[in-house]
Amino acid sequence: MKTFSGQFYPSYFSPPSEATLLLSDRTLSIGFHDQHGNPARQDWPLKEVQGDFLFAEQRSRFTQTNTQAEFRVAGREAFEYWEEIKAEANKSWFRKKRTGSLRRTVALLSAMLLSGSLLYFFMVPWLAEQMATVVSKKTERQLGDSVFEAMKSTQTEDTMATRVLNDFFNALAIETDYSIRITVVKDEMVNAFALPGGQLVVYTGLLENMETYPELAALLSHEFVHVEKRHATRSIFRSMGSDLFVTLLFGKSSGLATLVIGQANQLRTLSYSRSLEKEADLEGYKLLRERGIDPGGYDRLFKHLKDSSPGTEIPEMISSHPDTDNRMQYIREAARGQVVKEDPQLVSIFAQLKNK
């Protein structure tokens, strides 16, 4: 029996909600909040569930074949565990009989655990996320640095672009208690992400598409907010759920870094809830407005992200975060009447990036 945190889609036209999945040898149980905010649970018999791995999204998906409701979770672990459960279920009668007593014991324990699962579903992810709000900045930095070091072995740094982007961010003069460190990775992927404690990673595939400095300012301000508001830390803690909770509960601080490092590959495509993504957009825009930077940088940045995966845009109503067109719209609304002024220093630094 294992638990996973992800998104639950009650139907094709329903918005997703943060939920917790409990996979056992007979049932797939999902704990979530209904449209009125009340705790709810669905139990799907395994014979009515189809599991698959979405390679493009790097997510495991489980579908209730009768209702087409779905649960999605980042990474392969849930799908691989599902495969183990199916393999066990397909064992011959003789092999099952040999372990029948053990299986009955396990079934009894599972039933006892399921009786309290509704409380577990909501308390563990909530407690894990609350822990993220009280973890010290020093611990956050240690976690982020540990993950970054684990990633470095499979990545090639663009050292000149790294220097330029750090100069650019420093020129923005954003006040923060975090030490922001930006690394540019040579990769065609159009992406960037934030790690706990101040590490930002930007791929050259995204930088190559940029034509003006407000686009870079929009990107860095957005990722900075994910660090400043602890979005990365909160999302990682929540996604690890019970494993993280047990590690922290028993004071295994050395095991915390190891646990996070084990999720390093998934952090590259870490997804945030709609509310966190929108907060990063709007708070990042405020940083641009305070500096007189053209908010059109966000427009062009979002266009690059959209153009990088044509035909794969998921409607907002069934997506875990605001769709690109909607993000453009609310930034435009917030930017009405803004006074824009060119910053010669940022223009000069951006020119170094494009002329390198």
Instruction: Look at the pTM and tell me if it is higher than 0.85.
Output: no
Most confident among 56-60, 75-79, 341-345 (mean pLDDT): 341-345
Question: Which of 234 and 189 is assigned the larger pLDDT?
Answer: 189
Looking up tokens 């565990």, which residue turns up?
Answer: 81
User: Nearest-CA neighbor of 319 among 288, 267, 278?
Assistant: 278
Instruction: State the average pLDDT over residues 9-33.
Output: 81
Q: Are 238 and 5 in contact (CB under 8 A)?
A: yes
**pLDDT at position 87 over 90:** no
Mean pLDDT of the 84-99 span: 61
If you average pLDDT over each of 83-92, 95-104, 280-289, which comes out highest? 280-289
Q: How far apart are the first and last CA of the chain?
A: 53
Q: What is the DSSP letter of 313?
A: P
Neighbours of 115 (CB within 10 A): 9
- Going from N- to C-terminal start, the domains of the chain cover 2-115, 131-355
The per-residue pLDDT for 329 is 85
pLDDT per position as a tens digit, 102-157 = 555 555 555 555 545 544 555 555 665 666 677 788 888 988 888 788 788 788 99
Q: What is the distance between the alpha carbons of residues 194 and 270, in angstroms, rounded to a whole number?
A: 9
Number of residues that this document lists for the chain: 356
Higher pLDDT residue, 276 or 211? 211
CATH architecture of 2-115: Roll (2.30)
Reported as a pLDDT band with limits 50, 70 and 90, residue 249 is very low
Q: Which residue has the higher pLDDT, 25 or 71?
A: 71
DSSP run (H or E) holding 75: none
pLDDT of residue 108: 54
For residue range 180-204, what is the model confidence (pLDDT) as tens digits?
A: 999 999 999 888 999 989 999 999 9
One-character DSSP codes across 3-25: EEEEEEESSTTSPPEEEEEEE-S
CB-based burial label for 23 (10 Å; 0-12, 13-18, 19+) = buried
The residues that bridge with 41 in the sheet, in sequence order, are: 31
Other C-beta atoms lying within 10 Å of the C-beta of residue 25: 15
Spatial distance between the Cα atoms of 225 and 324, rounded to a whole number of angstroms? 18
Indicate the residue type of 159: T
Q: Find the DSSP H helices in the chain.
A: 77-89, 93-98, 100-115, 117-134, 137-152, 159-172, 204-207, 213-228, 231-249, 253-261, 264-267, 274-290, 296-307, 324-334, 344-355
What per-residue confidence (pLDDT) applies to 326?
82
